[in-house]
Amino acid sequence: MGNRFYFFVISIICTLCFSTAALASNHDILTNYRLHGIKNIQKELDKSLGDKNYWQEFLKNKDTQFGYIESYTNILLCDKSKSELLIYSRDQNNTYKLRKEYSAFTGKFKGDKTKEGDLKTPVGVYDIVKKLSKVDSFYGPMAFVTSYPNLYDRYKGKTGQGIWIHGLPSNQERDEFTKGCIAINNKSIECLNKNIDIKKTILIIKEKTNSRNTVSKETLALLLSNLYAWRYSWLYNNLEDYLHFYAEEFKRFDGMNLEKFKQYKQRVFSKNENKIILFRDINIIAYPNIENLYKITFNEEYKSDSFSFHGKKILIVRLQNNQFSIITEK
C-alpha cells in the first residue's frame, strides 16, 4: 500500500507541475516539499483535485458524449421512442463510435417503470449483471439480465424485477411489445453476444428521442471537482463540509435517513483517524430524461486504523448552483 500510494502522489505532482490548471508552480511545490515533507504536499494536492480548472484541462480532449467514462468499453443505448437498441464501442482513440443498430421491442405502455406488472420498460442507467445461455424458447436463444431495480429505482420505491435484453420466439407468435424487457431478433441477440463483454458494458434506456446523452465538459468538470472536494472533507475529517454535500432528502441504500446518517458520521469522524481514500474507474453518466441528475460510480480504496474497504461505490447526485447534492449512495 505504501509504495502504491507514494507513486500515486508523485504522479499527481507531475501532472500538476505541467498543467495550466496547476495550483502552484513547480518551484513552489518543490520548496513546500523540501521544507515540510510529503504529508504537507499531499494535503495541498488533495485540495487541488477539487479545483474545476484542473478538471477542465484534464477533460479537454476526452470524448464525453456519454459522460465521463473510465471503465466501460461498450455503451448500449435503448431509445424507447424509436424502438431501437444501439451499440457504441470505444476505439483506439478512446472515442465511442456507433457499431451496431438493432430494432427493438419494449414495454406495451410509455413512461418509466414504477411497479411490477405495469408493462413498462424502465428509464435509467443499468449494468448487465448476467448472461443466461439457457432460457425458455419464448425468449430466443439467450438473454442478458439488467440491474433493474438499481439504486435510484429503489430510492424512488419502484418495484418489479427480471428486466432482460432477450431474443424472440422461434416457433410461436408474439405481440409487438414486451412486459418491460427489451427484445431484439435472434440474429441480433447472437450478434450482441459476440460484440460485448458484459462486465465492461453499460445500458442507458431513455424515453424521449430529443433528450440529451452528451454532458458538457464544464458540467463534468464541476461534478469531478465536487467529487474530490467531497473526498477532501472526508479525508481530512471536516464533518461540516462533508455533510454539506448531502441533500435533505438523502436516504442511503439501506434506508438510513440524513439525520441518522449525520449521527453515524459524527461517531466516525470523531475518531480523527488518518485515512487513505483512492478513487479509480470513475464513471459519470447523466440520468436520462431527468434534468441535472447524475449517476457516479467508482472503485473505492479506503483504509484507516479501524476499517478498510475495497469495492464499488455508487452515488446518485443532483447538480444545483455549481455543487452536487448526494440523494442516495451505496
* pLDDT, mean of each 10-residue run, the chain (330 residues): 50 49 58 78 90 96 95 97 96 95 96 97 97 94 98 97 95 87 97 96 88 82 98 97 98 98 97 94 96 97 94 97 96
Candidate list 166, 191, 244, 310, residue with the active-site label: 166
CB atoms within 10 A of CB 83: 15
Whole-Å CA distances, 238 to 39, 272, 290: 17, 9, 31
**Residue 310 is a catalytic residue:** no
- Count the alpha carbons within 13 Å of 153 in the hemisphere toward its beta carbon: 22
Q: Select which of 27, 36, 181, 244 is catalytic.
A: 181
Question: Which candidate, 2, 1, 12, places its Cα nearest to that of 231?
Answer: 12
pTM for the model stands at 0.89
| Per-residue pLDDT tens digits for 122-169 | 999 999 999 999 999 999 999 999 999 999 999 999 999 999 999 999
Active-site annotation holds for 244 = no
Reference 1, options 225, 330, 274, 283; nearest CA is 274
Q: What is the pLDDT of residue 196?
A: 95
Q: Which amino acid is at 272?
A: N
**CATH code for the part of the protein at 49-63+215-329:** 3.10.450.50
Give CATH for domain 72-206. Answer: 2.40.440.10
CB 193 within 8 A of CB 76: no
The ranges of the chain annotated as CATH 3.10.450.50 are 49-63+215-329
Boundaries of CATH 2.40.440.10 in the chain?
72-206
State the pLDDT at residue 23: 43
pLDDT for the residue numbered 24: 46
Q: What is the pLDDT of residue 29?
A: 73
